[in-house]
């Protein structure tokens, strides 16, 4: 009898221990509700951030597609320019053969090609423009005044045009005098083919050459800190002879 009573007493105590008091249960539910509310708030915050990132990504893709279209236009422009130069070489070769050894017949052909070539440089990529034009004018003067054998002049014209084609394929760092804010200034130039041209000044400014809507080129200083840093990385890489790879650069084709 006593043994049964003892068992019932122990069982009752156990139930009292396992069954939470009303106050404790209320606190537990309240804490759970607070935890759920916090989690819900975090989820909503993350969803908002995700939506924002999706919008940014969409805008970036649109911008990149627009820049890709600009680059395609510039690529076609450069391709046509190179094809024109190659045609000049072919024409020079054909006319030289027709003229045979007659210097007088060859002279007008040479001068016409040099004239077209000079116009190409004057309206084209602004890389060492004065030096390139000076080479043409020196040759023009020699041909006009018969200071050079016509056959040698043909070879020199050919060499100049081939240099121009090679220029479109080379990347590197050079020094050049540019017009910046109406002032002539010697700067370091990073040239990427005949499409992109970036510069750094002695007073730590950076910028790029941009083609305007009317086709003229001008040099502009960049104020954006991130873009200045990207130009710096490009210069550092080219100085280390790293001429290939992935580079984020300011877009001079952007309107």
List the chain pLDDT tens, one digit each, 255 residues: 544 544 444 444 444 444 454 555 556 767 777 777 778 777 788 888 888 888 777 766 766 566 566 656 666 666 676 667 667 666 666 666 665 555 567 788 888 888 888 888 888 889 999 999 999 999 999 989 989 887 788 888 888 888 888 888 888 999 999 998 888 999 999 998 888 899 999 988 999 998 877 778 889 999 999 999 999 999 998 888 876 667 778 877 665
> Which residues, listed in sequence order, are joined to residue 211 by a DSSP beta bridge?
217
Q: Quick one: 110 and 188 in the same domain?
A: no
Q: What pLDDT digit, counting tens, does each position of 89-120 carry? A: 666 666 666 655 555 677 888 888 888 888 88
In order of 11, 128, 196, the CA distances from 170 in angstroms are: 91, 14, 11
At residue 222, the pLDDT reads 92
Distance separating alpha carbons of residues 40 and 48, to the nearest angstrom: 12
Note whether 71 and 253 are within 8 A (CB): yes
At residue 29, the pLDDT reads 67
In order of 37, 56, 153, the CA distances from 160 in angstroms are: 75, 47, 10
Q: Quick one: 185 and 137 in the same domain?
A: no
How many domains does the chain contain in total? 2
Distance separating alpha carbons of residues 210 and 197, to the nearest angstrom: 8
Q: Quick one: 199 and 123 in the same domain?
A: no
Q: Quick one: 175 and 163 in the same domain?
A: no
Domain final residue pick, 167, 183, 215: 167
Asked whether residue 14 is domain-assigned, the answer is: no
At residue 254, the pLDDT reads 63
Distance separating alpha carbons of residues 158 and 92, to the nearest angstrom: 8
Q: Quick one: 163 and 98 in the same domain?
A: yes
Scanning the chain, the segments in alpha helix (DSSP H) are 2-18, 22-99, 103-122, 129-144, 150-167, 225-239
Task: Output the DSSP codes for 46-75.
Answer: HHHHHHHHHHHHHHHHHHHHHHHHHHHHHH
Asked whether residue 56 is domain-assigned, the answer is: no
Asked whether residue 89 is domain-assigned, the answer is: yes
At residue 157, the pLDDT reads 85
The residue segments making up the domain with residue 233 are 171-239
Exposure string for 10-29, b = 16+ CB within 10 A, e = fewer: eeeeeeeeeeeeeeeeeeee
Distance separating alpha carbons of residues 175 and 247, to the nearest angstrom: 22
Q: What pLDDT digit, counting tens, does each position of 30-42 carry? A: 777 777 777 877 7
> Which residues, listed in sequence order, are joined to residue 210 by a DSSP beta bridge?
218
Domain final residue pick, 147, 167, 187: 167
At residue 219, the pLDDT reads 92
């Amino acid at each position: 009898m006593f043994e049964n009573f003892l068992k019932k007493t122990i069982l009752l105590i156990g139930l009292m221990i396992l069954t939470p008091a009303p106050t404790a249960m209320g606190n537990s539910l309240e804490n759970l509700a607070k935890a759920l509310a916090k989690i819900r708030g975090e989820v909503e915050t993350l969803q908002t951030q995700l939506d924002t990132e999706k919008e940014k990504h969409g805008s970036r893709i649109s911008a990149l597609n627009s820049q890709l279209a600009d680059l395609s236009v510039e690529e076609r422009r450069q391709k046509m320019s190179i094809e024109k130069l190659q045609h000049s070489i072919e024409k020079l070769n054909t006319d030289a053969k027709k003229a045979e050894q007659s210097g007088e017949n060859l002279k007008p052909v040479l001068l016409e090609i040099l004239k077209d070539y000079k116009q190409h440089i004057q309206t084209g990529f602004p890389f060492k423009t004065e030096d390139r034009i000076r080479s043409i004018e020196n040759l023009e003067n020699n041909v006009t005044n018969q200071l050079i054998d016509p056959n040698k002049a043909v070879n020199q014209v050919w060499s100049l045009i081939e240099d121009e084609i090679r220029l479109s394929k080379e990347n590197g760092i050079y020094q050049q005098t540019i017009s910046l804010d109406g002032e002539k200034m010697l700067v370091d130039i990073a040239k990427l083919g005949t499409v992109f041209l970036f510069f750094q000044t002695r007073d730590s400014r950076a910028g790029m050459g941009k083609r305007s809507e009317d086709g003229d080129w001008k040099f502009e200083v960049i104020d954006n800190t991130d873009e200045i840093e990207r130009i710096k990385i490009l210069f550092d890489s080219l100085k280390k002879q790293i001429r290939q790879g992935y580079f984020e650069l300011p877009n001079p084709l952007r309107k």
